[in-house]
Amino acid sequence: MDHSLQDHASYIGRPVSELPTPALILSKPVLERNTQILLEDVKQLGIEFRPHIKTLKCTEVTRMMLGDGLHRRIVASTLAEIRGSLDLVKEGKIDECLYGLPISASALPFLETLNKSLKIILMVDSEQQIDLLEAYAAKSSSPVVPWPVFIKIDVGSQRAGMTTHSPCLPRLIQRIESSSAATVYGFYCHAGHSYACRTEDAAAAVLQTEVEGVVEAAKVLVDGKNDRRIVVSVGSTPTAHVVKRLQGALPEGMELELHAGNYPANDLQQVATSLVEPTQQAVRILADVCSVYPDRNEALVNAGTIALSKETGEFPGFAVVVDRPQWSVVRMAQEHGILGWTESDQTSRLIEKTGSKSSDGEKVEAAFVVGDKVLLYIQHACITAAMHYAYYVVDEQDIVRETWVPWKGW
């Protein structure tokens, strides 16, 4: 059993340096600033907001993202996240949840149960899913209530979704329109490829593609001649960061909604887009230096694949030492991380913004001593956080003030 899961609260009031390792450290002031920025952006634009709760998967962050009930819709990627958010449903802070994966046969019975507590919206991108919903309804003993569905539009990520020019799209819309098991709630896209953007202009261009994609698809149903209302949902963390650059009004009958998930946390992949500063990263992993190897100028920390993840990005390695950004985790085994000296343009930016104790070509024995504790910035917060059972929530001085327990599993 993970020690932190049983004893996390006993560390409240202690500095980060006294925590058992590896540990996930969450900066509450950074989380609050990150969530506030987006709440203000959507307020200024007067658009709806649907946070994705998959990154930190816990009540406290979900509450923050929703502005404590100011916004009342969420998107989840697992049933566990929906079950976890039921506490906020009971508090009256959440009304509806989009289950963000194309609907599967095994999720459906669980979603039917959850639908009794909050409105569940399904995601579809194939006619076969409508067959599935109809077959499920046919077997059900209760009266058939059509599931509200978002049709997923692929605007370039080539993950889930149909492109707007696919001949399958009008067929799918038609199929839903004539089905008693589903009804079109809206059109949804997620520009995962926006993580490759390196400038505000590039992210704004992807955002524009997102809006054009869902609006184009929705036009089939909302033609200005009927009184149909359709939600068009766009976003990803990089495009959400430039949401204020949205231009032009939407056609009559369409309601614009923004969604985003990673933005409260941020990570090196987000910093690499240049849309957030290194100091906007709320997540760090604390590890112990267990050994130093002067012969190969490397050190060993007790944070390996299981504590960090194998995610990579434009920053070197799998994680970067916060106050010595030229040192990163260059290789890993399950529980071993190897710190090595690395340099890149991105590292120089980190040094500029965070300050660094290291000098060029530094020797490992000058940088680390067995027994040191190091804080690491990680590549992708969503994946790393999923591997930790408790979060140590710290203030500006890195004193643990709270501990939060995320929802696990599927």
Ligand X SMILES: Cc1ncc(COP(=O)(O)O)c(C=O)c1O
Q: Which stretch binds ligand X (CB under 6 A): 37-45, 257-265, 288-296, 322-330?
A: 257-265
Contact between 62 and ligand X per CB under 6 A:
no
How far is it, in rounded angstroms, from Cα 142 to Cα 128?
A: 22
Which 68-87 positions form the footprint of ligand X (CB under 6 A)? 75
CA distances to 192, 309, 331, 348 from 312, rounded to whole Å, are: 15, 9, 11, 18
318-357 positions binding ligand X, by CB under 6 A: none
**Closest distance between ligand X and the C-beta of residue 237, in Å?**
4
Task: CB nearer to ligand X: give 259 or 284.
Answer: 259
Which listed range, 103-111, 216-224, 259-267, 367-375, lies at the site for ligand X (CB under 6 A)? 259-267
Closest contact distance (angstroms) between CB of 286 and ligand X is 24
User: Which residue among 179, 209, 237, 356 contacts ligand X (CB under 6 A)?
Assistant: 237
Task: Check residue 186 for interaction with ligand X (CB under 6 A).
Answer: no
CB of 73 or CB of 190, closer to ligand X: 190
261 touching ligand X, by CB under 6 A: yes
Distance in Å, CB of 109 to ligand X, minimum:
22
* CB nearer to ligand X: pick between 39 and 287: 39
> Which CB sits closer to ligand X, 130 or 381?
381
52 interacts with ligand X by CB under 6 A: yes
Work out whether 259 is an interface residue with ligand X (CB under 6 A): yes
Give 221 or 260: the residue with its C-beta nearer to ligand X: 260
Residue 236 binding ligand X, by CB under 6 A = yes
The yes or no reply on residue 27 touching ligand X (CB under 6 A) is no
* Beta-bridge partner residues of 97: 74, 120
Closer Cβ to ligand X, 75 or 385, answer by number = 75
* Residue 63 interacting with ligand X (CB under 6 A): no
Contact status: 266 vs ligand X (CB under 6 A) = no
For ligand X (CB under 6 A), the number of binding residues is 11
Q: Which residue from 27, 179, 262, 266 is in contact with ligand X, where contact means CB under 6 A? A: 262
Q: Among residues 236 and 403, whose Cβ is nearest to ligand X?
A: 236
Is 211 or 292 the residue whose CB approaches ligand X more closely?
211
SS3 letters across the chain:
CCHHHHHHHHHCCCEHHHCCCCEEEEEHHHHHHHHHHHHHHHHHHCCEEEEECCCCCCHHHHHHHCCCCCCCEEEECCHHHHHHCHHHHHCCCCCEEEEEEECCCCCHHHHHHHCCCCEEEEEECCHHHHHHHHHHHHHCCCCCCCEEEEEEECCCCCCCCECCCCCHHHHHHHHHHCCCCEEEEEEECCCHHHHHCCCHHHHHHHHHHHHHHHHHHHCCCCCCCCCCCEEEEECCHHHHCCHHHCCCCCCCCEEEEEEECCCCCCCHHHHHCCCCCHHHCCEEEEEEEEEEEHHHCEEEECCCHHHHCCCCCCCCCCEEECCCCCEEEEEECCCCEEEEECCCHHHHHHHHHHCCCCCCCCCHHHHCCCCCEEEEEECCHHHHHCCCCCEEEECCCCEEEEEECCCCCC
Q: Is 182 in the site for ligand X (CB under 6 A)?
A: no
Residue number with CB closer to ligand X (4 or 209): 209
Q: Which residues bind ligand X (CB under 6 A)?
A: 52, 75, 100, 190, 236-237, 259-263
